[in-house]
Amino acid sequence: MIYSIINDLLPYFTALNFADRVAGICYPVELPILSENNETIIKRFPVIENSNKNQCDGNDYISLIPDDGLKSLIYHELISDIVDEDNDSYQQHTATVRLVAWFNLRNINSALTNCEQLLQLINNKIPFIIADTGAAYRITCETTDKRIRDKSIFAAWSYSEAEKQYLIYPFDFGHITMRISYRLNKCADDIVINPNSCNDLKVIPVTTYEFRHDFVDPMDYIGKAITGSLETDSVWTITRNEYFLGGAVITKTATNVKWTERTILIYN
């Protein structure tokens, strides 16, 4: 479920004007490479699932290796997902996820000498409270660490010398560590067995959503609606978080409402 939670965060980052490749939690892929000495070397690369894939083609993954054609590359790594509590109704989880961000400063703004400001802009987009997704609810996200130029985040990958040039100026990089707390509802429906045949592949439509975010001190508004919905359509679910001195937060929700009326709605 942590994969779905991270995917719900992606629209916050794609809204940034310098973000042109944003991905969820990556997977390590190992490939055998024949060296100049005719020795087989295993290389490891980060990839992300292709959201447009199907079970019968080979284009399942997209590489997450930096290249100078991008302004930035943002992806996530799952460090851990621990069950803190397990009872008949739910599991309480705490997940640690690292957001990795690589920047081509030359393609963003020639006046930039490092990525500190860019990384902070990403950090500013991370909401403390995340809307329920699937069987996961009571989802919160906290930033626990933020660093630039820590090359250890690339230590697991077998970058070539040509690719390592993207780790020096005018390129820069950093990471943000997030602690995500969520409950997983155990009252979930059983899976429906419906196998696909690659000779007769049927594509099942998937409902996708778009999000909106607005902060009007002390109110934080998060909107969710089916992709293609107008902001004036009464189809939005809006979560309002009200922040108080001392750190207290009151969360209320309005459903089937207009995003354009978020500041005047009655929330329950």
Give the pLDDT of residue 63: 80
The model's confidence at residue 207, banded by pLDDT at 50, 70 and 90, is low
Q: Which of 146-150, 180-184, 205-209 shows the lowest mean pLDDT across its residues? A: 205-209
Do residues 119 and 225 both lie within one domain? no
Do residues 22 and 143 both lie within one domain? yes
Calculate what percentage of the chain has a pLDDT beyond 90: 58
Tally of domains in the chain:
2
Residue range 82-105: mean pLDDT, rounded: 96
Q: Is 200 a domain residue?
A: no
Q: Is 198 a domain residue?
A: no
The model's confidence at residue 52, banded by pLDDT at 50, 70 and 90, is low
In 66-187, beta strands by DSSP E: 72-86, 90-104, 129-130, 136-148, 171-185
Flag whether pLDDT at 209 surpasses 90: no
Give the pLDDT of residue 201: 45
Give the pLDDT of residue 210: 82
Q: Which of 16-25, 62-71, 199-208, 258-267 shows the lowest mean pLDDT across its residues? A: 199-208
* DSSP code string of 23-73: EEE-EEEEEEEE-TTS-EEEEEEEEEE-TT--TTSS--EEE----TT-SEE
Among the listed residues 97, 105, 42, 94, the one whose alpha carbon sits nearest the alpha carbon of residue 75: 97
- Residue 104's domain spans which residues? 2-185
Q: Is 150 a domain residue?
A: yes
Give the pLDDT of residue 139: 97
Task: Judge residue 11's burial from the number of C-beta atoms within 10 Å of its C-beta, 0-12 exposed, 13-18 middle, 19 or more buried.
Answer: middle
Beta bridge partners of 234: none
Strands 22-25 and 72-86: parallel
Digit-coded pLDDT (tens) for 150-183: 999 998 888 776 667 888 989 999 999 999 999 9
Give the pLDDT of residue 58: 47
The size of the chain, in residues, is: 268
Among the listed residues 248, 255, 244, the one whose alpha carbon sits nearest the alpha carbon of residue 222: 255
Give the pLDDT of residue 54: 52
Do residues 150 and 62 both lie within one domain? yes
Q: Which helix (H) or strand (E) holds 131?
A: none
Q: Is 199 a domain residue?
A: no
Do residues 222 and 95 both lie within one domain? no
Strands 61-63 and 236-243: unpaired
Tell me the average pLDDT of the chain.
87
Do residues 157 and 246 both lie within one domain? no
Q: Is 127 a domain residue?
A: yes
The model's confidence at residue 228, banded by pLDDT at 50, 70 and 90, is confident
Give the pLDDT of residue 7: 93
Do residues 95 and 8 both lie within one domain? yes
Number of alpha carbons in the 13 Å side-chain half-sphere of residue 7: 16
The model's confidence at residue 65, banded by pLDDT at 50, 70 and 90, is confident
Q: Is 191 a domain residue?
A: no
149 φψ region: left (φ > 0), alpha (ψ -120 to 50), beta (else): left
Q: Is 30 a domain residue?
A: yes
Among the listed residues 229, 255, 13, the one whose alpha carbon sits nearest the alpha carbon of residue 127: 13
Give the pLDDT of residue 49: 74
Do residues 128 and 253 both lie within one domain? no
Digit-coded pLDDT (tens) for 236-249: 999 999 988 877 88
The model's confidence at residue 34, banded by pLDDT at 50, 70 and 90, is low
Q: Which of 58-62, 66-70, 82-86 shows the lowest mean pLDDT across its residues? A: 58-62
Residue range 124-139: mean pLDDT, rounded: 93
Do residues 115 and 229 both lie within one domain? no
Q: Of 185, 217, 244, which residue sits at a domain end?
A: 185
Q: Is 99 a domain residue?
A: yes
